[in-house]
Copies of this chain bind each other. A is one copy, B any other.
Amino acid sequence: MRPPEPARLSLNQITVPTLTLPEAVEACVRHGIGAIAPWRDRVAEIGVDRAARLLRDAGLRVSSLCRGGFLTASSAPARREALRNNRAAIEEAAALGAACLVMVCGPPEGRDLARARDDIARGLEALVPHARATGVRLAVEPLHPMMIGERSAIVTLDEATELAERFDADTVGVIVDAYHVWWDPRLDAAVDRAAGRIAGFHVSDWLSPTTNLLAGRGLMGDGLIDLHGLRDRVERAGYTGLIEVEIISDEHAKDDPDDLIRRVVQRFAEFV
């Protein structure tokens, strides 16, 4: 398969967690990377206005802002606070010119999984007017089922797309993150179904053995995911936008960031 255009590479900031946003931006420029996905906590460290200026001055595109979501709180005050927080995230995404706001939808509280899923749908419904008015696309990210207890009751791409389909495609899309969805026997059909809704494509790799449920991802090429096959499918579904490299890893967090980014660029060309 032909390698992806190098200009499609976007560095998700959590891949180099020891860097501040200004440092990560400088590193992108140094390595010829044209896009980045910042995290809100790192944006907050310098303020959203300064972050927006920094990104603009560096000429970086913003593939996404990480992240909104967590819409499953059951108490009324906690739900109100979650909506307030998500509206703030929407405004930050707009200010940064992010292509989308990643939505990690939240875990079930207790044993009622159907209720958690309903709460997520109602939460999105409440946020859509603000997203539409601000021109920010909400991108529902299905997470690997092993993360259901802490992060997301939305665990398959089909489910995320079904949720997104309640709204217009310009306002609510989905993220296809290879790490979260590669195991799914229905993946091909799910990607096809998501056509027109794919707001982002994220890559890393699934290591065997995987011993860390949250921060055990591998560099592309070090694991079991057929990233070529998945990119092909995603492109056939019409997505030709930025590809985020998002390696959440306690191990790689110890690497020298420049050395890691060099390998990211190489692996992107070879395995994505």
Contact = CB atoms under 8 A, between A and B. Distances in A.
Given A159-B185, A185-B159, A213-B213, A208 B107 contact: yes
A3 interface: no
B183 A145 contact: yes
A14 to B, nearest CB: 19
A208 B214 CA distance: 13
A147 to B, nearest CB: 9
Contacts of A184: 145, 155-156
Contact of A185 (B155, B206, B210): B155
A142 B111 CA distance: 22
A19 interface: no
Interface string A203-215: 0001111110100
A103 to B, nearest CB: 16
Contact of A108 (B207, B211, B213, B224): B224
A207 B140 CA distance: 25
Interface residues of A, number: 32
A146 interface: yes
Contact of A111 (B108, B148, B156, B226): B226
Q: Copies of this chain, how many? A: 2
A100 B223 CA distance: 34
A132 B90 CA distance: 60
A210 B150 CA distance: 9
Interface in A133-149: 144-146, 148-149
Contacts of A149: 206-210, 223-224
A211 B213 contact: yes
A110 B148 contact: no
A145 B185 CA distance: 10
Contacts of A264: none
Given A112-B226, A224-B110, A150 B117 contact: no
- List 8 A-B pairs, minimum CB-CB distance, nearest first: A149-B208, A146-B146, A145-B183, A111-B226, A159-B185, A148-B183, A145-B145, A155-B183
27 contacts: A107-B208, A108-B224, A110-B224, A111-B225, A113-B182, A113-B226, A117-B185, A145-B145, A145-B146, A145-B183, A145-B184, A146-B146, A148-B183, A148-B206, A149-B206, A149-B207, A149-B223, A149-B224, A150-B209, A155-B183, A155-B184, A155-B185, A156-B184, A156-B185, A159-B185, A210-B213, A213-B213
